[in-house]
Structure 1
Amino acid sequence: MKDLLVRAEDQWFDRKSGRIAAKDLARPLIAFANAEGGILAVGLSNGQVDGVPTKSVNAIRQAAIDFTIPPVRTQISTIEDDGKQVLIIRVEPGDTVHTSKSGDCFLRIGDESRKLSLAEQQALAYDRGSKTFEATPVDLTINDLAAELTESYQQSIGSSSVKEMLYARDLIDRHDRLTVAAELLFDDRPQRDFPSAYVRILKYDSDERGLGSQMTLLEDTRIEGPLPQQIMQAATKITQSIPARQQLTQSGLFNPVPMIPRDAWLEGLVNAVVHRSYNIAGDHIRFEIFPHRVEITSPGRFPGLVDTTEPLQISRYARNPRIARVCADMGITRELGEGIKRIFHEMKTQGLSAPIYRQNASSVTLTLKATDAVDPELLAELPRNARIILDVLRLQDRPLSTGQVAELVGIARPTAKRALEALRKAELVRWRGKSDRDPRASWHLL
């Protein structure tokens, strides 16, 4: 019980007071079913067990039947604490879009059950077909899975057996059949049945691919195996292959750093593996490394109707909720809806151009360019100290006083002041303060 009281609410867990009206449970039930499923603990409030009144137990047990359309599938158990009842409602991921009796639709995003607009609801409906593919049964048994993988994961989540672990993550259907998700995650070589489920890493020695005898391809590596292993092995290979450049680092020295921030391309790689459309045969994930950019292409479009010119407005949505959940348990993903935002943040912190997303009829491509976000001609006109200060402000990612800038760059305060004024004139930084003697005055990166 203590674990339920202190556990943080997230993508798969929510708490509600025992005094909640049964009809008000429709929102979290629908939100979980429309996302990856989850657990709803009813009878906990403000860090205390307030319990579900006996007269309300039946109504809460029937809430999914009475207030959701189509009825959300749930499994309900009871925990007693000092005579008080707490209902644990386990919500299964839905195979269709669920709404309330009034037509409202909700989706679990992080720790929030967010109401969807009609357009978002339509987009969700469009994507349900591909979302259910990972739940398709396969002709395998538990003994066919890699024992070292299943047993390690079983122990990590505290299940008493591998079968219980598979049930807990909806990797076995109601007829005791393993699913596509189970095979992709835990079979030693799922490519036997899904030959396109692999990552291909291509490295070129030119920014153009070239054709025929003019092709500039240097390396072509194919990474197979279960999905978690693919991500780790691909990350190792890419780390070795990404070109580096000299750049000011946190140590205050110029050191070789990857041309594209690791956290940015790694987030792109993980998103590609976890959220690709595995029902699309004949295509694979491509991670292409060029001297001044990387391109990550994943089979499958963004869910529903999406404007790729506004990627930061794309709502979090897991096409493969079971795969996403297991990868989150393994620490591969955080699943807080911050994937795209994190990529943008990492590129911005390094002062690089914003990520570019493109999609065609069957795939999405993410391009990360190793080009400065500042106009190269403008950058060339700046004094050397000004360019270093720009790097320092990006690395610190917070406002700094003139003295702090001078100390971090290792130059005199007047020199720092002149360089900062050059940056202000170029409209790259802003000074905020009441006067030149204001001790709280600081420089802000624009």
Structure 2
Amino acid sequence: MNIPKYDKKDLLSIPEGKTFDRKSAKYDLNKLANILIAFANADGGTVALGINNKRYEGVNLLAPQKQNDILQIGSQRIVPTIKIEITRKPVVNIQGLTDEVWLLTVQPADDKIYANKKDEVYLRIGDETHRTTYEERKNLEFDKGIRAFESQIVNEAILDDLDEDTVAEYKKLYGFEGDNLWDLLFPKGLAKRIRDKNDHIIYRLTVAGVLLLSKYPTAFIPGARIRFIRYEGREAKTGADMNIVKQIRIEGPLTKMLQQASESLEAQLRTFSSLDTKSGKFIDVPEYPKGAWLEGIVNAVTHRGYNYTGDDIRILMFDDRLEIHSPGGLPAVVTTENIRHTHYSRNPYIARALTDSGWVREFGEGVDRIYIDMNKYFLDDPVYRVDSNSVNLILKNNIIVRSFRKNDDLESKIGADWQKLNFIEKAAVGLAYEHGSVRTRELSAAVDNYSMSSVRNGLKHLTTIGILERVASAPTSPNQYYRLIK
């Protein structure tokens, strides 16, 4: 994994999160060890030691013995011993004196789990250092075997197998101008360094390196492809009734596969007309929000179990839904209940490369964005169906409601009154039409620049002129709602 080299400005300004934390030089060493353990068990990371309340306090205030304890923390407080890269950054401390901040960096562990002297295992989730439960630890142990696959050497792959355009972009991404490509690939986890029987150092590409940079990854890793299939109707049929109308097989470096998959899917999407509750006008909207379906594809490519070589990523498009199939179950501590806010990289080297190249959102934001984007377009929440062998994301397009132009339909139902309605009233009708009903607070949230009394007056007027009807079990029922009069 490529841990960024933070300069002095970054140390104070970058947010703490999945791979970065700031601590005072006087921070408890056992707790510091737990943070490093959490980083190593997740995606790797860096602790900037000597910063207190976003001010440089430095490390010179520590006694020599305390400084030495920090230098020995990887062997004295972590099991098994972990290698910690320590970079000293000169700073001017809050007293105006020359000082240092120590950057303690650990790489992600491939095939081992780190613990403290009490045999407690920690994992970095967002900006928190989380102590794992017994069940989470078991899941983590299982997932380490899958994660290790990313770092395995692919003996048959050589530099001549790499895609020239993709390598050029990768060099440009990191500003690499050297002649020896191994000097770029090795620190990023895309190659390994080994000694032959004559004690000569040689390099070999890893699975991550092949997936990201090879012209033909499937020559070495069967199943490292995406298949896009468009069906006519709402189910897949076989034999004489087969209803596949489009099928595309996508192979190549991961970034090129993502680009082609994005273009292939976008070409098949339809547009609908929907009411914009902010403007009160009808606008053309896509069948699915791009942020949602693209995030689903990127997540599948980034987090799939590549050791499942007999299966591939599949994007299945039906009339009423989009399904994205990713081989391998959910990684480690991630469950269908916490997937919206919990992150763990099954393939940290791939995840870092795709993050740096702009495909992956900031760690932990992606799945939450799918929910937000679907909700923005009045679509159902995404559905995750998970088993031990795959993760399946389902996005529903609500085609029954959106399959005709809303403007013409609503005007035909309401007649000349439609043009007489104000912004709040049009928004109320639109929400009632999209969802089947509208509640006062739902309408208030949609037109958030208006007062609650204006919202109530709008709903009252719509019932008075016979467009909406109020449904309630009692005059002051808290569960009352409004719906279009049929």
Structural mapping, 1:38-437, within 5 Å: 38-52=45-59, 53=62, 55=64, 56-82=66-92, 83-94=98-109, 95-139=111-155, 140-142=157-159, 144-159=161-176, 161=178, 162-175=181-194, 176-249=203-276, 252-304=280-332, 308=336, 310=337, 312=339, 315-371=342-398, 385=426, 386-390=428-432, 400=448, 415=461, 422=468, 425=471
d(CA) in 2 for partners of 1:167, 1:234: 29
d(CA) in 2 for partners of 1:51, 1:73: 23
**Cα pair distance change 1:157/1:19, threshold 3 Å:** farther
Deviations 1:58-94 (A, max 9, x none): 2111112111122233222322335312222221111
Contact 1:126–1:303, Cα closer than 8 Å, also in 2: no
TM-score, structure 2 as length reference: 0.76
Which residue in the other structure is 2:404 paired with?
none
Which residue in the other structure is 1:31 paired with?
38
Give the unaligned 5+ runs of structure 2. Answer: 1-7, 93-97, 195-202, 402-408, 415-425
**Cα pair distance change 1:423/1:233, threshold 3 Å:** farther
**Cα pair distance change 1:155/1:171, threshold 3 Å:** same
Q: What one-letter code is carried by the residue in structure 2 that aligns with 1:35?
A: A
**Cα pair distance change 1:246/1:84, threshold 3 Å:** same
Instruction: Give the alignment partner of residue 13 of structure 1, picking from 3, 20, 24.
Output: 20
Give the unaligned 5+ runs of structure 1. Answer: 375-379, 433-442
**Cα pair distance change 1:145/1:406, threshold 3 Å:** farther
Q: What one-letter code is carried by the residue in structure 2 that aligns with 1:108?
A: R
Contact 1:402–1:413, Cα closer than 8 Å, also in 2: no
**SS of 2:215's equivalent?**
coil
d(CA) in 2 for partners of 1:63, 1:28: 12
How far does residue 220 in structure 1 lie from its aligned partner after superposition? 0.1
Contact 1:324–1:335, Cα closer than 8 Å, also in 2: no
Contact 1:44–1:86, Cα closer than 8 Å, also in 2: yes
Deviations 1:366-418 (A, max 9, x none): 111122899xxxxx99x8654414569989965636679989xxx98864576
**Cα pair distance change 1:403/1:59, threshold 3 Å:** closer
How far does residue 110 in structure 1 lie from its aligned partner after superposition? 2.4
**Cα pair distance change 1:170/1:412, threshold 3 Å:** same
Comparing 98-107 with 128-137, which one deviates more in the overlay?
98-107
Deviations 1:318-347 (A, max 9, x none): 111111111111111124323332222222
Deviations 1:112-133 (A, max 9, x none): 2222222222221221110111
d(CA) in 2 for partners of 1:341, 1:373: 26
**Which of these two proteins has the greater Rg computed from alpha carbons?**
2
Comparing 217-226 with 93-102, which one deviates more in the overlay?
93-102
Comparing 19-28 with 86-95, which one deviates more in the overlay?
19-28
Q: What one-letter code is carried by the residue in structure 2 that aligns with 1:207?
A: R
**Cα pair distance change 1:305/1:322, threshold 3 Å:** closer
Contact 1:26–1:67, Cα closer than 8 Å, also in 2: yes
How far does residue 160 in structure 1 lie from its aligned partner after superposition? 5.6
Contact 1:260–1:293, Cα closer than 8 Å, also in 2: no
d(CA) in 2 for partners of 1:220, 1:395: 42
How far does residue 143 in structure 1 lie from its aligned partner after superposition? 5.4
**Cα pair distance change 1:24/1:54, threshold 3 Å:** same
Contact 1:171–1:179, Cα closer than 8 Å, also in 2: yes
How far does residue 142 in structure 1 lie from its aligned partner after superposition? 4.5
Which residue in the other structure is 1:377 paired with?
none
